[in-house]
Structure 1
Amino acid sequence: MVDVLIFEGNEAKSPVEEMLLQARHAALRDNLDKLAAVPEVARIILATNQPQFQAYASLPKVIVELNKIPPREFHFGRHLIDLIERYQVRTVLCMGGAAVPLITVAELQWLCRQVLAQDKRFVTNNVQSADIIAFNPAAVLRQFPAAATDNALALLLRYDAKFEQVLLPITLGTQFDIDTPTDLLVLAASPFGGENLRRVLNRLSLPTEKLQQVKAVLQGQYNDVALIGRIGAPAIERLNKNLKVRLRVFSEERGMKALGRLERNEVVSLLGFWLEEIGPDRFFTYLAKTAAAALIDDRVLFAHHGQEPADADRFYSDLGQYEKVQDPFVREFTRAAQECSIPVVLGGHSLVTGGVQALVEELKGTEQT
């Protein structure tokens, strides 16, 4: 049997962060129902600093581990090891509360069966940006320094513990994650999401105009679409296979978090240098001359510029609300993107992974003739 360890501990410091938390908590509630429906799941241990989640202890298989740890003091690896030892977990599945919110019960069951089938094996959805990881035996973590993040855990299991790696099939359910408001925009403009999540999305009335314009471009006949940021081969393959588009791809700094490059201030971007030379206005003017729409994972550009924007700044930027952004560089970049003559959607890594997957899943077979 598999024990599930869910970590959901956040604190909102601005209205936009509170909005994201509402959606994450709704996705968590949907995930709890799906996990409980998997026969191979024995216990669901929810580690959280949110007192309202104590009510979830009445749900099937759920145990609530309430703590008072501020997010800034939370260490993923140390708390993971602590829970594994206290609950004597043999085979573990760990994830964030809102991770893979569109995953199905069947996909969760497949994951559990794969990790139970053999010792020294781990199953994940993404090698360099893991949102969900199951591994067996869990006690292996005692042999290594505690991984700081789930991304680092996947690398530890693969390269240090020498576990066999099994990747979940690339589907909307295994690739989509809720990290930023852009992910909410993608969902709000789509038919996807569980009952609780859809209820919150409908109440938020999010601005989806840019996304609708991007969809119109994607449904055309070989329009040029720019993908910028940490672009992986699966996103390119999905778009090329299912939609009639011409892609202009500029991929940089994949794995910048998992490999520690962001933490060590080693992120460098060719587009970032160009942006410094010409400024945001000319950058987006030239972009509009080469593409009919753009999806930009701008965290690479921010990191190259030496920026570590506050969550509120990043999130307001994702929503296009540049007037609420405090950081001058992020504000000007966002303003220029909003004023660009083509639809530009800004976001994080999830935009160009699960976000692309969601767009393709919704639009395939609907091209205009």
Structure 2
Amino acid sequence: MKPITAIVFEGGKATSSVVLSMLDVRKAICLDNIETLVNHPHYDRVILATNYPDLAEEARNMGATIVDTSDWLPFHFGQALTRIVREFPMERALYFSGASSPLISYDEFTEIAQVLNENENVVYVNNVQSADIVAWTPAQVLLDMEPPELDNALGYELRYQNHFTRLLMPHSAGIHFDVDTPAEILFLKLLPNLKPRTRKAV
């Protein structure tokens, strides 16, 4: 199995009390997934792009590579991702935002790695039009693309700018559920098998 590089973005600036109230949960979800990936044999590197010093420190202590985006202003998602792929050469990449997958399992990360090893010129997404989880190979094609402004367009642009085969991830709560609003945090509270930091944060 050839290894995958995982790239996680989690950052920004809290512009309201609602966003601020969700921040600890988002960071907890992010750290739980980083911990899973740094201990997963199919992933050789986990890169966290963030402007949160506390999150960066905890992730670094787990073994993640940290990219400080504090001075990447004005922030442009696609340009930031391209910069990371250029700085850290990789063949197979998985991207997701920090709070996009609180329920994703170890086995689902395994399955993503298997798909990238069994296919060439492919983009593997959890949503056809607005993907939160995007895996693709070869990763370096990003360097020759017009980078998308928003992460939800990444899967679409990888497919159409490179004529990639698009494959869709199997439907599951782990693949589709993300945290965008306080309502989703309330739903998480009801679930019995959350990862440890997420359970504590909700």
TM-score range with shorter-chain normalisation? over 0.9
- Find out whether 1:140 has 2:148 as its counterpart: no
Q: Distance in 2 between matches of 1:190 and 1:54?
A: 28
User: Which stretches in structure 1 are left out of the alignment for 5+ residues?
Assistant: 202-369
Q: Distance in 2 between matches of 1:193 and 1:134?
A: 24
- The AA in structure 2 aligned to 1:50 is Y
- The aligned residue for residue 76 of structure 1 is 77
Q: Percent identity?
A: 33
SS at match of 1:73: coil
- The aligned residue for residue 10 of structure 1 is 12
Q: Distance in 2 between matches of 1:160 and 1:173?
A: 28
User: Contact 1:120 / 1:137 at 8 angstroms: preserved in 2?
Assistant: yes
User: Which stretches in structure 2 are left out of the alignment for 5+ residues?
Assistant: none
Q: Which structure exhibits the higher relative contact order, with contacts defined as CA atoms closer than 8 Å and separated by 6 or more residues?
A: 2
User: Contact 1:92 / 1:138 at 8 angstroms: preserved in 2?
Assistant: yes
- The aligned residue for residue 90 of structure 2 is 89
User: Contact 2:7 / 2:94 at 8 angstroms: preserved in 1?
Assistant: yes
Distance 1:186 1:134, change over 3 A: same
Post-superposition Cα deviations, 1:205-247, rounded to whole Å, max 9, x if no partner, equal xxxxxxxxxxxxxxxxxxxxxxxxxxxxxxxxxxxxxxxxxxx
For residues 53-132 of structure 1, what are the structure 2 equivalents within 5 Å?
A: 53-55=55-57, 56-60=59-63, 62-69=64-71, 73-132=74-133
- The AA in structure 1 aligned to 2:61 is S
* Count of matched residue pairs: 199
User: Contact 1:31 / 1:98 at 8 angstroms: preserved in 2?
Assistant: no
SS at match of 1:159: helix
- The AA in structure 1 aligned to 2:113 is C
Greater Rg over alpha carbons, structure? 1
- The AA in structure 1 aligned to 2:80 is H
Post-superposition Cα deviations, 1:43-94, rounded to whole Å, max 9, x if no partner, equal 001010011123221213x111113147x72111111111001111221111
Q: Choose which of 29, 39, 42 in structure 1 pairs with 2:41.
A: 39
Q: Distance in 2 between matches of 1:6 and 1:111?
A: 15
The alignment's TM-score, normalised by the length of structure 1, stands at: 0.52
User: Contact 2:123 / 2:167 at 8 angstroms: preserved in 1?
Assistant: yes
User: Contact 1:37 / 1:105 at 8 angstroms: preserved in 2?
Assistant: no
- Find out whether 1:153 has 2:129 as its counterpart: no
SS at match of 1:32: helix
Distance 1:69 1:181, change over 3 A: farther
Q: Distance in 2 between matches of 1:148 and 1:115?
A: 24
Cα displacement (A) at 1:146: 0.8
- The aligned residue for residue 222 of structure 1 is none
- The aligned residue for residue 226 of structure 1 is none
Q: Distance in 2 between matches of 1:151 and 1:131?
A: 6
- The aligned residue for residue 52 of structure 1 is 54
- The AA in structure 1 aligned to 2:38 is A
**Root mean square deviation, CA, Å:** 1.5
Cα displacement (A) at 1:142: 2.4
Q: Distance in 2 between matches of 1:13 and 1:109?
A: 36
User: Contact 2:4 / 2:92 at 8 angstroms: preserved in 1?
Assistant: yes
For residues 217-366 of structure 1, what are the structure 2 equivalents within 5 Å?
A: none
Q: Distance in 1 between matches of 2:151 and 2:44?
A: 22
For residues 19-38 of structure 1, what are the structure 2 equivalents within 5 Å?
A: 19-38=21-40
Cα displacement (A) at 1:149: 1.7
The alignment's TM-score, normalised by the length of structure 2, stands at: 0.92
Q: Distance in 2 between matches of 1:147 and 1:14?
A: 26
SS at match of 1:135: strand
Post-superposition Cα deviations, 1:289-343, rounded to whole Å, max 9, x if no partner, equal xxxxxxxxxxxxxxxxxxxxxxxxxxxxxxxxxxxxxxxxxxxxxxxxxxxxxxx
Cα displacement (A) at 1:192: 4.5
